[in-house]
């Protein structure tokens, strides 16, 4: 079937998220960014909508709904349209929940899901990025090796959101040349939570460096147990997630800048009467459309039970470049005002660079 129209259910979910964003995110995003903090009650409200847990079985505390990558993409876009940091933090547990549901052993699911799917938001996080030049999510420097029935992990990770408060960290490491995911408990003596990072953007999102040195993990904490997990599949989903939040962010910049431009005059004429301004807006518009369609296209593949390797890769690649392009235009359209932190396009510009650089901050 080919259709670009949302189902009633999708529309309802999207609208609900949009309402939340409008009520508690949009107008507070600047303050969150300046104060480098997201109020817990906002996160809790988003959590209660169930974005991270809807597809988890009811026995584990989820809603038992069908897993729909497209619906999740709609939710992520909407959240990121409000604020990228908020979107990431609100859905952060899904970075653990989603692979756990898809690829965890039943023991792992029974052990972790009830904790993660509680009524109260409880941070769980993913450690995948590494602060090395040429970092590649498929060529990890962090290594795991099997020794005496457990795994020893060694490596440095950066950009681990909420590492300090998260109840557990899913760590990506290469095991015999194959990338795998491991649950690392916060009390593991081989794990060291490093300094809190300061970044170009996403200021409201606390991120940390962590280091693992011969960090010993019991065999049962390798995601998927003995046979491990399908890391490539995990990447597909997280790449689509990144594409979805990139779309939301770009849309926010596009819409704000367009509305601003409409009301702005210069040389005695509305600036939108100038082709250079109008064409920029047209281009931003169809790039946002393109980004969303690329995201949907990849998510649709997954939803149809097909492989989405190509589509997910291209969606992240494309949205990564275009988010930067669109958010740059957003600042440009506001001119000097766009350069100040009084207007959100400034924040969008900083956050805009993140989509291509960072891996695994959202998943469908």
Partner 1 sequence: MISLELPEAVEQTKQMMHSLATDVFRPISRKYDDKEHVYPEELEVFRGLVGGGKQKSKAMPENVEKGKKDKKPNYSNLTTVITIEELCWGDLGLMMTIPGAGLGNAAIAAVGTPEQKEKYGEKWAAMAITEPEAGSDSASVQTTAVLDGDEWVINGEKIFVTCADRCDVVVVWANIDPSVGKAGIKSFVVEKDTPGFKLEYLEHKLGIRASDTGTFVLKDCRVPRENLLGTAEISKKKSFGGVMQTFDNTRPTVAAMALGVSRAALEFTKEKMEEKGLTLDYEKSPNNLSAMEKDFYKMDAEIDAMRLLIWQAAAMADAGIRNSLQASMCKAKAGKIGTEITQKCCELLGPMGFSQEYLAEKWMRDVKITDIFEGTGQIQHLIVARQLLKLSSKELR
Q: Which of residues 272-291 bind its own copies (CB under 8 A)?
A: 274-276, 279
Q: Which is nearer to its own copies, 148 or 276 (CB)?
A: 276
Give min distance, CB of 99 to its own copies, in A.
40
Q: Yes or no: say if 24 and 42 are a contact pair by the CB < 8 Å rule.
A: yes
Q: Kindly identify the residues of this chain, within the stretch 63-82, that bind partner 1 according to CB under 8 A.
A: 70
Tell which residue, 75, 88, 73, has the closest CA to residue 29: 88
Least separation in angstroms between CB 181 and partner 1: 17
What positions carry a catalytic annotation?
A: 359
Per CB under 8 A, the list member of 120, 134, 148, 177 interacting with partner 1 is 134
Q: Is residue 129 involved in binding partner 1 (CB under 8 A)?
A: yes
CA 12 from chain center: how many Å?
22
CA dihedral over 196, 200, 202, 204, signed as positive or negative = positive
- Look-up of token digits 């939301």: 248
Question: How many other C-beta atoms can be found within 10 angstroms of the C-beta atom of residue 59?
Answer: 12
- Comparison of 226 and 267: residue with beta carbon closer to partner 1: 267
Binding mask 79-118 for partner 1 (x = CB under 8 A): ----------------------------------------
Choose from its own copies, partner 1, none: what does 338 bind? Cβ within 5-8 Å by kind.
Answer: partner 1
In terms of CB distance, is 63 or 279 closer to its own copies?
A: 279
Burial letters 300-339, b for 16+ CB under 10 A, else e: bbbbeeeebeebbbbbbbbbbebbbebbbbbbebbeeebe
Q: Which residues ranging from 10 to 29 are in contact with partner 1 (CB under 8 A)?
A: 10
Burial of 265 (0-12, 13-18, 19+ CB in 10 A): exposed
Burial class (CB in 10 A: 0-12, 13-18, 19+), 227: exposed
Q: Which is nearer to partner 1, 105 or 283 (CB)?
A: 283
In terms of DSSP H, where are the helices of 263-308?
275-303
- State the minimum distance, in angstroms, from the CB of residue 187 to partner 1: 27
Query: How many angstroms separate the CA atoms of 276 and 344, rounded?
Result: 22
Which residue do the tokens 């849309």 mark? Answer: 251
Strands 168-175 and 124-127: parallel
Asked if 36 is part of the footprint of its own copies (rule: CB under 8 A), the reply reads no
Find the binder of partner 1 among 300, 326, 330, 362 (CB under 8 A).
300
Q: Which stretch binds partner 1 (CB under 8 A): 59-67, 210-218, 221-229, 326-334?
A: 326-334
Q: Which is nearer to its own copies, 127 or 333 (CB)?
A: 333
* 3 versus 276: smaller Cβ distance to its own copies: 276
Q: Cβ 276 to its own copies, closest distance in Å?
A: 5
- What does 289 interact with, of its own copies, partner 1, none (CB < 5 to 8 A by kind)? partner 1
Nearest distance, CB of residue 70 and partner 1, angstroms: 5
- What region does 163 belong to: left with phi over 0, alpha with psi -120 to 50, or beta? alpha
Query: Which residues in this chain contact its own copies in the complex, by CB under 8 A?
Result: 274-276, 279
């Amino acid at each position: 079937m080919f259709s670009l129209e949302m189902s009633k259910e999708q529309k309802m979910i999207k609208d609900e998220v949009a309402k939340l964003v409008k009520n508690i995110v949009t107008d507070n995003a600047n303050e969150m960014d300046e104060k480098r903090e997201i109020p817990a009650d906002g996160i809790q409200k988003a959590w209660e909508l169930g974005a991270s847990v809807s597809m988890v079985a009811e026995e584990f505390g989820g809603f038992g709904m069908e897993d729909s990558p497209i619906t999740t993409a709609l939710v992520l876009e909407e959240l990121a349209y409000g604020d990228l940091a908020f979107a990431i933090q609100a859905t952060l547990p899904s970075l653990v929940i989603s692979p756990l549901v898809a690829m965890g052993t039943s023991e792992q699911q029974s052990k972790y899901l009830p904790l993660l799917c509680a009524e109260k938001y409880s941070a769980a996080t993913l450690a995948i990025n590494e602060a090395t030049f040429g970092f590649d999510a498929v060529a990890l420097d962090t290594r795991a090796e099997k020794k005496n029935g457990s795994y020893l992990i060694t490596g440095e990770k950066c950009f681990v959101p909420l590492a300090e408060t998260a109840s557990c960290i899913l760590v990506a490491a290469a095991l015999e040349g194959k990338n795998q995911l491991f649950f690392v408990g916060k009390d593991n003596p081989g794990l060291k939570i490093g300094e809190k990072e300061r970044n170009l953007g996403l200021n409201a999102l606390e991120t940390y460096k962590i280091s693992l040195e011969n960090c010993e993990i019991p065999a049962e904490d390798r995601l998927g147990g003995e046979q491990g997990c399908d890391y490539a599949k995990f990447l597909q989903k997280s790449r689509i997630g990144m594409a979805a939040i990139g779309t939301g962010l770009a849309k926010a910049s596009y819409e704000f800048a367009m509305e601003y431009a409409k009301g702005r005059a210069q040389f005695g004429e509305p600036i939108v009467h100038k082709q250079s301004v109008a064409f920029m807006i047209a281009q931003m518009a169809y790039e946002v459309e393109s980004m969303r369609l690329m995201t949907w296209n990849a998510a649709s593949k997954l939803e149809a039970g097909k492989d989405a390797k190509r589509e997910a890769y291209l969606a992240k690649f494309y949205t990564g470049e275009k988010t930067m392009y669109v958010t740059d235009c957003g600042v440009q359209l506001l001119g000097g005002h766009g350069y100040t932190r009084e207007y959100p396009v400034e924040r969008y510009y900083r956050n805009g660079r993140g989509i291509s650089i960072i891996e695994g901050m959202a998943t469908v």
